[in-house]
Amino acid sequence: MVQRINILLQLTAAHAYLVIFSMVFAIAIAVVSGILITLPSWPKNILLRNILFIISLFAGILIAFIFYKKQPISNKIIVFMLYGFFIGLVFYRKVLRNVILYIDSIIMTIPSIALFGLFIPILGIGFFNAVVALVLYAQLPIIRNTYAGITSIDPAVTDSARGMGMSNLQIILKVNLPIALPVIMAGIRTSTVMIAGIAAIASYIGAKSLGEFIFRGISRGSQNMILTGAIWIGIFAIITDFFLGRVEKWFTPKGLRVD
């Protein structure tokens, strides 16, 4: 019994670590690309735009090299290049804005277990592969909400910001982001809760998470273990949701609160 509780606690820690690790990347990537696709024409210079695109392509390859230093990486590069390509698309958003959102929603419709299955032959098993899959999964609600949050701001507000002489960066940081923050936070909350559940499946490809508890239960034929694992994952998601709800409220600027 004590041993099982011990295992449960260890796996909870691993699970939380996996979720947080994935979310940090997902949030960073998704918020930035969400902001980028709302900008009508940045960077203005086409050459600079192409350079940024190539950088994001190679950033993918670079990450692949860093993550898999000791393994043969030929297939993995392709995945990361594709990912870099995908992120790089934001620099051509005028044409491809909808394509980006579309690709992202296709990813969302792939069942998570299938996605992990897809990744095993290409990436192999392990923590980072799980992270890659989770980040792909987590980013859609955040990109969506960042995009929706910023584009739904009253145009008179952004106009007056520009009309009064704020620079583009000032408009993003001082006006767009704070006003869209509650919506972005809602996206982050949704996607974190989702990932908190999906992370359980990551046990399949060898990333330690609470799913392992259930899988052990299945292989040992212990209903108790399966049930405990399942309920505990549920509780974990609910706690995450409650906690992020608090954070969301805390992040909402006073002038935007409904009371």
Partner 1 sequence: MIKLEKLVKIYKGNRNPAVDNLSVEIPKGKICILIGPSGCGKTTLLRMINGLISPTGGKIFINDDDITKVDQVELRRKMGYVIQGTGLFPHWTIAENISVVPKLLKWPKDKIENVVNNMLILIGLDPDEYKNRYPKALSGGQVQRVGVARALAADPPIMLMDEPFGAADPITRSKLQNEFLYIQEKIHKTIVFVTHDIDEAIKMGDLIAILKDGKLIQYGTPDNILSHPENEFVSEFVGSDRTLKRLGLIKVRDVMTRDVKIVKSSDPINKVKEMIKRVNNNFLYVINEKMEPRGYVLEEDLEKGKSLKEIIRTMASPVNPEDTLKTALSNMMALGVGTICVVNNKNEFIGEVTLNVLTRLISNSDQE
Q: Where along the sequence are the contacts to partner 1 (CB under 8 A)?
A: 154, 156-167, 170, 175, 178-179, 253-256
Nearest approach in angstroms of CB 99 to partner 1 is 21
Nearest approach in angstroms of CB 29 to partner 1 is 25
Query: Of 103, 101, 90, which Cα lies nearest the Cα of 39?
Result: 90
Nearest approach in angstroms of CB 159 to partner 1 is 6
Nearest approach in angstroms of CB 156 to partner 1 is 3
Rounded to the nearest angstrom, the gap between the alpha carbon of residue 37 and the centroid of all alpha carbons in its chain is 16
Contact predicate 134/199, CB 8 Å: yes
Beta carbon nearer to partner 1, 165 or 221: 165
Tokens of 172: 């993003």
Query: Of 176, 142, 172, 171, which Cα lies nearest the Cα of 256?
Result: 176
- Placement of tokens 């870099």 in the chain: 84
- CA dist 7 and 257 (Å) reads 42
Beta carbon nearer to partner 1, 174 or 220: 174
Beta carbon nearer to partner 1, 60 or 149: 149
Beta carbon nearer to partner 1, 1 or 258: 258
Nearest approach in angstroms of CB 28 to partner 1 is 23
Nearest approach in angstroms of CB 93 to partner 1 is 17
- CA dist 225 and 191 (Å) reads 27
Beta carbon nearer to partner 1, 117 or 178: 178
| 31 three-state secondary structure | helix
- Placement of tokens 């006003």 in the chain: 179
Contacts (Cβ under 8 Å, ≥6 apart) of 256 = 179, 182
Beta carbon nearer to partner 1, 114 or 154: 154
| 257 three-state secondary structure | coil
Tokens of 119: 């990744």
